[in-house]
Amino acid sequence: MNIKSLDFLKNTDNLNDSELIELTLSNFLRHDKKLYDVLFDSMSYSVSAGGKRVRPMLTMEFAKLCGGSRRAAAVFGSAVEFIHTYSLIHDDLPCMDNDDMRRGKPSNHIAFSEDTALLAGDALQSLAFEVMLCDDAVSLVGADACVKAASVLAYFCGADGMVGGQVIDLLYENKSANEEIITEIHLLKTAALIKAACMMGAIISGADKIQLKAAEKYAECIGLTFQIVDDILDVTSTAEELGKPIGSDEENNKSTLVSLLGIDKCRELSEKYTNEAISALKTFEGDTKTLEDFALKLLNRRN
């Protein structure tokens, strides 16, 4: 068996966090399978399609905050990024959002084919668990932390988390939703995976229950903020500034918190969540400036 090796992580002290994450992502996609390299090409295509690596960076920040290893954070952060990437590939498929473009490039199923894209997504989900559970990951953080971190990701990416959120979102595509339902969609579809990213960083670094709860709270609040700001920008921004068409929610008859509560109330709400996110960080003794800045950046973003 060719269970993933983490040898490539040796002598990486000189890399910054971002470089370490990119190195880890690309190494997990290396292969010697000439017979069907199209599968790995398809997986790599989407993983390297210019995502901002928000989730692995969050794993990294919480790991550092809890005194954990950057290498371990790169491994578990990659797992979250693989899950995020698979969800984007499946989201773009014709039977879902039917999007031909993603981040300015042809979607996976356009660049490859629908069947390959489907299978690449499936394989990325398996890969996420494979890298978190390989022998070298156990050596890095211990079996208990591996199990706990991987179980948190499994929970938050599945029916009780991200996938559940996608299903509710589909159910309310052409149906009006109330505030509670929209918030539930935001919590599951977006915040759940961010929770996993933050909590996993804490778990693999030996965080206690209170710290873990704080990581979850921070993640939930920035996840909710992200979605509300998204809905605000869809109304207030220009297509040029946003880099994608505006007014899509109204056009699609989609209920959003903005259409239900108005822009002012939504701005208020997103500020409240951001304050709560920053407050949650007080539990930690270390330097939380990067995470505070990130929360504020999400609140104040223009695109």
Residues in the site for its own copies, rule: CB under 8 A? 1-3, 31, 33, 35-36, 38-40, 43, 86, 90, 93-96, 109, 113-116, 118-119, 121-123, 125-127, 129-130, 133-135, 138, 143-144, 146-148, 150-152, 154-155, 157-160, 163-164, 166-168, 170-171, 181, 184
In whole angstroms, the minimum distance from the beta carbon of 64 to its own copies comes to: 24
Report how far residue 128's alpha carbon sits from residue 110's, in angstroms, rounded to the nearest whole number.
Answer: 24
In whole angstroms, the minimum distance from the beta carbon of 3 to its own copies comes to: 6
In whole angstroms, the minimum distance from the beta carbon of 75 to its own copies comes to: 13
Task: At 210, list the tokens.
Answer: 């209170």
In whole angstroms, the minimum distance from the beta carbon of 177 to its own copies comes to: 10
Report how far residue 150's alpha carbon sits from residue 83's, in angstroms, rounded to the nearest whole number.
Answer: 12
Q: Within 158-245, where are the H helices?
A: 162-171, 179-185, 192-203, 209-236, 239-242
Nearer to its own copies, 164 or 229 (CB): 164
In whole angstroms, the minimum distance from the beta carbon of 257 to its own copies comes to: 17
CB contact burial 148-164 (16+ within 10 A = b; e otherwise): bbbebbbebbeeebbbb
Report how far residue 286's alpha carbon sits from residue 264's, in angstroms, rounded to the nearest whole number.
Answer: 35
Nearer to its own copies, 188 or 278 (CB): 188
Nearer to its own copies, 107 or 125 (CB): 125
Nearer to its own copies, 49 or 196 (CB): 196
Angle at 194 between CA 206 and CA 139, to 5 degrees: 35
